[in-house]
Every structure is written in structure tokens, then in C-alpha cells.
Structure 1
């Protein structure tokens, strides 16, 4: 047994060494062959993957198996699959067995959606997770089956076809497509006409060369009157197994064309026209047409074939009725023609289409069909012909300023229908009123002297008049003649200075002259200085240079002072007619221009020193104001002065308090007046915020009263003096002015008021402003029949005023000894103030003030 084991061990080692030697030799030989042949041994081995589109299964289905030569060296390995169909859309199509490399398919595949799959195979070491070999990548193609039927891009198509379309191609292109694999029988398509309704003309299908498009064709003619629409069914079929097909419907709408000639309703027409009548409708001809109305195939076009050699007529189409309107545009003479035969033809705007027995006439083979014609007889009716001037325009010649009564023109007139002796004449146009006409002979005679310079004479010296010759026919006929009077000129106008007021800026000025007469009676003119009229220095001061022409030059011979000068002139035309004229010459300084400079206005201006002193004074004033402001304010908060200083009316409401706070406990002051033996009235003012003593003095002589009040405001510490004066007879009645200044924040404000009372009544307005919040109150100081009692009761307080101590008010959070007026509730009383009559001794004074009859 030991010998056998040893033998087996020896044999195994020998075999192993041999195998190792062979393996080394094999590796060496392989490397040498690779280096020589540039080839390597296959590492991956996989069988062919064949997948058919829409495979029904069952699934999962074996697809292939992968092998790799590295699996012998690694006992623990794993196959891995990735790519399209595995990790990319569509996922879960393929899978692989980790151990043996078998690939499975899990669902059917649509080749039209995914024609191929890009797959990657890997083998990895399970222990290390590293790739054992390079990745194997390949594409899996899907075998196509005939699972898609061909289809037309438009399953229902509409097309319009003209009735007169020549046989051949129809404007209906057809394109069929197939989603199966190209260049296979599954995508090879054949197209044919499956059916048509109606059956005539025959419609076929023909392939367009070089394209995958087909087009309908037809042979024969369409007839709009019989069939207006054709329904054609076409089929597309592939060559796959089994063959699949689909259909499409083509609706052909036939459009009407000119296949019917227009026909005149009547065979002949008769009409008439007046002699020499023109621009008048004389006849309407009507036609019938079986084509569609208001189309080019229906609209008629008329023409005159015969009888219009002289251009007397024209014919047009009425667009609304399609009738032909025959109009005479050139009058006919009854003496020459009494009857005219006119032949009229009619066609359509669209050429006529004729379908022969063998089909439509091709464009190269034109079938001529003569148009429909009709004869029209036109009768000319004789009318009264107007007279005829031998010359419609006559030129006559004359001179202006001729004596009146000269016959300028006598017309020559003929009339074929009337007696020339019975023709009467009228002057139609004579704007200047120079002529008259003899109604029997037509002689044109002057009644005024003609003037060539008249505005009615044109630039060619021609004056135009119009005359009429009227016969005695029924109705009377009229002829018009034109007479052109050419006027010759005479020397009837004197020359004159065009501009008589001239401005001389230097030593020469132009004097323009003119003459309304033409050559040789007008300018150029000759000018000279006129009579000096005692001015001996005229010729020593002026001269004319030049002195001939339409513009003479007036030259000053010496320097002239600025001013106006009158210069007499003598002007002579070419025929020696002389006229005396004058010009006004203004000699002035033009400043280089051609007009006198205007006088400069008187002005004054400040020098630089004056301007500097003015600015320095303003600055000094500003600094002074600032200094006063600093001294006055002293660093304190600046208070604004009130802007509204107008008088405020007497208020009837009393504002005792502001929202959110208690009453300031300010008793309304009483102004008590007493008349003393020394004509002195004392007034006490008691207020919670101020104290005042008022004295009123009466003057016996004038019965005037003067009141002086000193008021001290705690807010500002200032004393305001108020004066009140009044006058009256008996009592202290009259009017008074009471002025007061008060402001809650220390700003003083003045108020004025006036009033008249039977005894003594003073009214006062008090306006207070605090921080942009303003309130107003008013109270009255009055006296009644018991005023003397009030004065006696209060007089003793005058001497104690200096010892009066300020009342200490209580603010929010602490009580106050002064009962707040806000605690008075009047809500249940309404407007009834009778409760004020019994308020106790403490409020007798207040009750007297607030009486019901106030």
C-alpha cells in the first residue's frame, strides 16, 4: 500500500512537471506568436444572441451564455451585466446568472421603439470586488417582423378641381409610410385606387419617379352640372408575410368653369336716338348663362362687331344685372344718317371650355366656338340743329382808348333747320362791359373806351368775349362763338416813381420809376431835377447818376445832416411825355444795413462799487438779524408764531378739556365793571392760568370810557396790556374794541372783536395752540341788572391781588381739589339750561353768566 501511494505520488509530480513545462512552452509560444502575428487568445466566449421582435415567450427565456478563460484562475467569481435593457431604459429586459453567465430575456421587445440594445459584460472577483478581465461590449439587434401596416399621412384629404381641367394629373399627391425595417419586404409598399364614386371619369394612381409619392390621374372630362363631388378610396399594402394594408379617402370637389355660352334673350333689338345726342344710354340687352352666377364663367363681356365704324357707340356690362348697356358717345346727323344697324357679340370673362367625345381639349388643340351675336337697329330722330358760326373762334384787332360806337365784329352764321334771318344774338361774357351786340345782326359795338391796362386783359393783351346765336326752332338751339380782341397800346399813361419814400444810408439812393405803357411808349425814362422853388442849394446838393432807365441814382453832392429832404424830379418817357414828381429822402445812420437804426432807449446802470456796497449791506443786515435771533432765543426751543391772525367769530361752545386728560380747572375770568364817583370803573379778571386787574376810566366831557388791563401769563412770564374804549350816552352802551393776546405754548396772538350791548357786554375770543393741536373757546363778559352787587362783592379782592398765590394744579396720577368741569354731565338735559338756575351759592356767578336767555 505504501509502495502504491509512493508510485502515485511520483507519477503525479512527473505529470505536473510535464504539464508545467508544457504550459510554459505554450505561454512562450503564444507570446511569440502574438508578437509575430499581433493576435491574442480569446478571453470571452459567448454564443450568438438572436432576439425576435414581439417574441411571445414564455419568459424568462434563455438568450445566450457567457464564458471567460479567467474563471479557471479564480474560484470565486461573478458575472455582471449592464447597459440598455438592464440598467438603462428599458430596464429589466435582460438578466445574467452570476455563476454560470447565462443571459435571460424577460419581456417582448418592440423593434420600432428599441431597434438594438447596447450591452456590457464584466467578470469580477467576489472577494476583492476587482474586475478580473476587461469589459466586453456588443450590440444586440432585434429581428423585425411585419407588425406595422402602411399608412397615409392624411387619412382623409380634400381637393378642389376645376371643371375645365385637362386630363392627366390631379393636384392630389399621396404619401404612404411603414414603420417596419426599411429595405425589407415588410416596408415595401404598393398603392392603388380601391374604389371611386361615381365611376366616370376614370381615376387612377401613378407613382412619381424618383420619389415615394403617388399622384391621382384621370381620363375624360368632369361635368359640374352632373357631379359636384367625387369620393376616391386608395389603398396602401406592404409585401410582408402576412401583408398588411390601410386606406385613405380623397374627396374631390369640382369647381364650375365656363362650359356654357351666354345667350341673348331676344334675337333682335330696336332703339332710337335723338339727332346729335351723345353720352346717353339708348339700349340694354340681356343674356342668360347656365354657369354659376357672379363668377368669371358667368359674367358677360359685350363688344360691337359691326356698325360702329365712326365710333358713335360703346357698350359696357352692368356688374349687377349682367346686362349690356349701349350708349351713344358721338352724336349722329339726321341729314346724313337716319338708320344704323349695330351687331353686338357676347362672351364670358373666362374662356369657353368644350369637352370633346374623346375627352377634354388639350391646350395645344384649341376648339374655336364662335360667340353669340345679336343685331340692333338704331333710328336717328331729327331735332332742331343749332346755328353754326363760320369761325367758332374769331380774332379781331383794335387799339385802346378808341372812340365808342365802332363796330368791332359781325358774325357769319348758318342753320340747316332754321331761317338765318330769324336768329337772335346775345352777349354772354363781357367782364369789363365794353361792348354791346345787336340781337338781329349780331354786330358787336363798343360802348366804352377799351383800356389795355385793364385787369381783364391778359398778359398777351387779349380781351375775350362770348356771344350766342339762338334760332327759333322747337326747342330753340344755341351756338356759341368766341371773340378774341387784341388791343394795341397807345401812350396814355405817364411815368411815375414807384417808391416815393427813400432811405439814404450813404451818399446814393436808387429811385425806381415805371410806366404802364408798353414799348415804345413806356420806359426807359429820363429823369432830371425839378424846379427848386426858391431852394438855391438844390442842384448843389443833389444830382442824378444815372439819369436814364427804370432805376435812376440820386446822389448827394455833400455830406448832409440826418433828416428828411424833399427832392423834386422831372420824368419823361420815350415819347416825350413829361410828368413832375417828388421823392422824400430820409438821411440817417443805417449801421451797415439798408434801414435806419432805431434810437437807443435811455438807460442807467450801477457800477461795480455800487453793487458791492449793496451786497455788503444785505449781508450786514442778515448778520444783524441772526445776532438778534441768537440773543432772543438764548438756546431755548424756538416757538412758532401763529399764522392765522384773522379775527375769529365768537364761539358758543366751551371746550373744557382735551381727549385723554383732566380739566385744567381754568375758571372763566369775569370782567366786572363798576362806575365809581371819580368816573372810574374797576375790573377784576380771575383765571386759573393768568391774573389781571382792569381799570376803566370815564371822561365826563365826552362820555368816553377807557379800559386798561394788565394781564400776566404764567406760560411766558409776559404782561399784556389791553385797552378798551367805548362811548355812549347814559349807560356805557356803544361799541368797543377789545384786543387780547394769548397762546398756550407762550406764543402771543391778537384778536379783535366788537359788539353792542344794552348795558355793558364785552365779547372776547381766546384761541390757544399747543404743539400743532389747536382748539378754540369763547366766553362772554356781561353784566345784568345786578352788576353793582357783583362789583361790590368783588372790589375787596383788588387790594389782595398782589398777595395772590398761584393755584397748584394736579396732573394725571394725582387728585385735584378743583372739581373738573368735565364731570358735569348734560347728556340727559338736552338743550334745556334751566338746571343752571339752582346750582348753589358756589355757582351763582357761573349761573348768571350761562342764563337761558343769553
Structure 2
């Protein structure tokens, strides 16, 4: 019976001592199994610790081959660290197969090296066997400190931020091998200045390398404008390595001071029918940062403006309240209107008392002040009940005939002090009593007179009080 033949070769690789006569304690035995396949020898990975202390060169391992008989073969090494960058890192003794490393290796730069090992006939240089491939994997040691991306971190925090999470996270990283104690670390807050409000670090689920800043209490811009926080990050390697970073919290002023009026009362005056005019400027004082929403004033009229005669606006340059009359008031006499004006800021008021923020709704009501507006009544002219009166009379009537007694009203004057005058009487036919306004004929009227127009003679009388008058047409 014909049988196929299968050969299995087990070759041992033994690392010999480093070529240092004075150091025999660094001997390390490594074994790897070589299995012949149809194409090549395959060798398991060789481990080499990073940044090993010298002196160099240091023996890594020794390679053997079953083709070697006496001194008839030589060995050749190619690949990473030999014929590819970084050049000159590894070499092999072509006679013995001993592999050397010539300088320290940083695993964070070169974590693994792939190399090919060949056996050549010493005389002809012909390859006697298939290429053997193997890897040198650099074993991590804890030679990197965990670090923050920046030595100092600046975070801006609004003064009125409610206690809890701050809008700022702290992240660190470690260059050592991932998922090992060398790259795993803890973070803690070492110190803070000032000490209040209390700031701490909080874990973020699923992101162990990032911590969230949190605080309890409230910030007070008047007490501290900047906080300095020292944070330490420390890995779990042996020995452990650590570093620190500084976080600066820059507090931005919020509205913690209500605006206050510069006076307890204000007085102004306006003419009765005056409109669209500025009548008063009201100044305020605010201790918050100027030209911010925390200090910009917002005025409102709480009482006394039910008829919407007035408005108040803020002068953006001076932060004063500008009170204007927008609709005249016809009262007929001088009177006092009392307005109640309030002031607050664009931003809601926030107050920190004994390290605790006052809850929403418990802050005081806006400051208010009384403004007395004197409305000066104008002297309106007397009003005739009828401005035109038609009287029928025959011509050539006797003088002394009472033609008409006008009725007038005047809300802002004494009726007994009203005077009456003739304004138009071209033929001099009538007279007017200056006190009562009674109109009486003083001559006979002639229908053929040239002063008669279309059968009508027109007399004009005016009523006067304090210089203003109103005309009555008597026809």
C-alpha cells in the first residue's frame, strides 16, 4: 500500500546571554515553536521590553535551522529595524544566528517589528530553506506620565450659574499601552482657591478619561473674579506616575445688584396740550459691570398712566430713564398727576446669600419712585353756545331795541370777568354791553344802506378772558 509522508519539525529557539562579561544576571530564556508549511517557517512573536537599560548591544534571541551542518551556512535578517526604518536597530550574527538590539526602543513610537530570517549556503549564497517570518513585539513599561492636553485650562463661568454641573470638562491621556494599568489613571482635585463654593470632579459614564466639574453653592463676582483649581492625574502602573494641571475659572459678572434711583422723588411739569416732548430724565446707579445686560436699566410706569399720556425709555448712552409726554391732556385747569415708575435690569436679578442662591421668585420687587407731573392748564377762550345767530328786524325801528344776549361758557375762567367787544359794525347801528354782552340798536337801520348785502347786515362780537377771545357772528 502506498502511503503519503508528513514531516513535523520542532525547533527550539534559545536566547543566550548578552555579550557583556560583567553582567550575567540578565539571562532570559525564550522559546518559540517553528512549524514548516509549504511556503515558509512561521514563528510565534518574541517579546522585548521597551527602553531596556544598556549596555548595548543586547542579545534578543538565537535562531536555528535544521539545514545547518557545521559552518556551511550563514544567516540573514531583513525587515523592520534592519533593512527598513528604523535602520540599524536589529542585527544578526550570520554565523551563530544570534539576534541583537542596538539601542532602546520606545513602544509608543514602534510597538511591533516584523522581520524575515533566511538560511543561505555560505559558498553559493543560495537560499537553503523557505523564509522564516517572525515578529518582535515591544512590551510596555510605565514610562509615560498621564497628562492634560494643556498645563493650564481657562473656563468662563457665569456668576448666576445654578449649582451643579459647570460648562467645562477635564480630559487627560496616557501614551502607554491602552487597557493596561500603565495607561489607566485616576483624577482628583488637589486644591482650589478661594475655597467656596465647593468644586469637585464627577465621573462621566462611559468616558473614564474625562471628568466633569461640578459645584455646590453659588459664585459671587464681588468676592472672587477668578478661581484657581489644581488637579492631579495619576496612573495605576508600577511605579505610579502622575502630573498636575491648573484650571482657572473666570467668573463673568451677572445681575446681582438692582438699579437704584438717584433721588427719592421727582417733579416736573408739562403744558396742558403739549405732546411728543421729553419732560424729565431719571438717573439710576447700578453696581454691576457697566454696559452689560446686568446693568442696563429697563423702566416702566406702574401707576398714573392709565390714559397712556406718557412713556419712558432708556437712553442707551447714559442709562437714564427719559420720560416723555406723548398725548396732551385737556383738563382746562392746572393739576398734578402722580406717576409711579419702576426700574430693573435687562437680565433677571440673581442673589447669593450665605453661599446659597435665592430661589426664583424670592428676589425683591423692582425699585420704584414717585414722579409728580404738574399739568399746566391753558386759558381756553370762552365758548359761545352758538357761534352764529340770525336775527330778523324791520328797518327804521326805534333805537334801543335789544337784538340779542349771547350765552357763553368758560371752564377755566370766572364768567363774571368776561368782557365783550364789537369787532364788526360798519354802519355803527349797534352797541354791546361789555359786561353782559347784550347787543342793542343805537340807530335806525336802513335796508337801502350800502352796508346791507343781500338783505343782511353782519355784526361780529367777541368774548374775552385773560387775552383770549372767541367771535360771535350776528346776522
TM-score computed with the length of structure 2 as normaliser: 0.73
* Match status 1:266 vs 2:263: yes
Structure 1 residue 277: Cα displacement: 2.5
Task: State which of 293, 298, 301 in structure 2 corresponds to 1:296.
Answer: 293
Contact 2:276 2:327 in 1 (8 A): yes
Q: How far apart, in 1, do the equivalents of 2:145 and 2:83 lie?
A: 32
Structure 1 equivalent of residue 372 of structure 2: 377
Give how far 1:168 is off: 1.3
* 2:37 is the alignment partner of 1:41: no
Question: Unaligned stretches of 5+ in structure 2?
Answer: 15-29, 31-45, 388-406, 425-452, 454-460
Looking at structure 2, the residues matched to 477 and 245 of structure 1 have their Cα atoms a distance apart, in angstroms, of 98
Distance 1:470 1:193 in 2: 94
- Aligned counterpart in structure 2 of residue 98 of structure 1, from 91, 94, 110: 94
Say whether residues 1:88 and 2:84 are aligned partners.
yes
3-state DSSP of counterpart to 2:172: strand
C-alpha contact (below 8 Å) 2:382/2:464 kept by paired residues: no
* Cα shift at 1:341: 1.7
Once residues 422 and 271 of structure 1 are traced to their aligned partners in structure 2, the CA distance between those partners, rounded to angstroms, is 38
Distance in 1 between the 2:383 and 2:136 partners?
Answer: 111
Counterpart CA distance in 1 for 2:204 and 2:108 is 28
- Aligned residue runs from structure 1 range 49-448, under 5 A: 49-72=46-69, 76-211=72-207, 212-335=209-332, 338-357=335-354, 359-361=356-358, 365-386=360-381, 416-417=411-412
Alpha-carbon distance in structure 2 between the residues aligned to 1:199 and 1:477:
80
Equivalent runs, 1:796-807 vs 2, <5 Å:
none
Superposed CA deviations along residues 318-355 of structure 1, whole A, max 9, x for unmatched, are 22222222222222234477222211111111111122
SS in 1 for 2:220: coil
Distance 2:236 2:82 in 1: 35
Q: Deviation per CA, 1:233-284, whole angstroms, max 9, x where unpaired?
A: 2111111111111111122111111101111222222332222222233322
Alignment of 1:575-594 (within 5 A): none
CA deviations on 1:777-826 (whole Å, 9 max, x unpaired) are xxxxxxxxxxxxxxxxxxxxxxxxxxxxxxxxxxxxxxxxxxxxxxxxxx
Q: CA deviation at 1:220?
A: 1.2
Runs of 4+ in 1 over 6 A off after TM superposition: 387-392
Q: CA contact under 8 A between 1:188 and 1:238: conserved in structure 2?
A: yes
| Equivalent residue, structure 1, for 2:25 | none
Contact 1:43–1:68 (8 Å) recurs in 2: no
CA RMSD of aligned residues (A): 3.1
SS of residue matched to 2:86: coil
**Contact 1:386/1:470 (CA < 8 Å) preserved in 2?**
no
Change (3 A) 1:391 1:138: farther
Q: Distance in 2 between matches of 1:70 and 1:148?
A: 45
**SS of equivalent residue, structure 1 residue 118:** strand
1:478-493 alignment runs, 5 A limit: none
Structure of greater Rg:
1
Indicate how the Cα distance of structure 1 residues 298 and 106 shifts in structure 2: closer, same or farther if over 3 A, else same: same
User: Which one has more relative contact order, counting CA pairs under 8 Å at least 6 apart?
Assistant: 2
1:551-570 mapped onto 2 (5 Å cutoff) = none
**Between Structure 1 and Structure 2, which shows a larger proportion of helix residues?**
1
Cα 1:378–1:187 shift into 2, 3 Å: same
1:417 CA displacement: 4.9
Using the TM superposition, name which of 344-353 and 40-49 deviates more.
40-49
CA contact (8 A) 1:45 1:68 kept: no
Alpha carbons of 1:382 and 1:94: their partners in 2 closer, same or farther (altered >3 Å)?
closer
Secondary structure at 1:182's aligned position in 2? coil
Query: The residue matched to 2:117 in structure 1 has which SS?
Result: strand
SS at match of 1:252: strand
Question: In structure 2, the residue corresponding to 1:64 is in which secondary structure?
Answer: strand
How much does 1:470 deviate? 9.5
CA contact (8 A) 1:224 1:256 kept: yes
1:42-80: CA deviation from partner (whole Å, max 9, x where unpaired): 2754243431111112222222111211224x8611111
Q: Please, which runs of 5 or more residues in structure 1 have no aligned partner? A: 1-27, 35-39, 393-411, 426-446, 448-468, 480-854
- What is the rounded CA distance, in whole Å, between the counterparts of 1:197 and 1:470 in structure 2? 87
Distance in 1 of aligned mates of 2:71 and 2:55: 33
Secondary structure at the residue paired with 1:119? Answer: strand
Matches within 5 A, 1:615-654: none
Query: Are the equivalent residues in 2 in contact too, given 1:387–1:470 (CA < 8 A)?
Result: no
Count of aligned pairs between the two proteins: 382
Contact kept in structure 2, 1:50 and 1:63, CA below 8 Å: no
Q: Distance in 1 between matches of 2:113 and 2:156?
A: 48
Q: Give 3-state SS (helix, strand or coil) of 1:271's partner.
A: strand
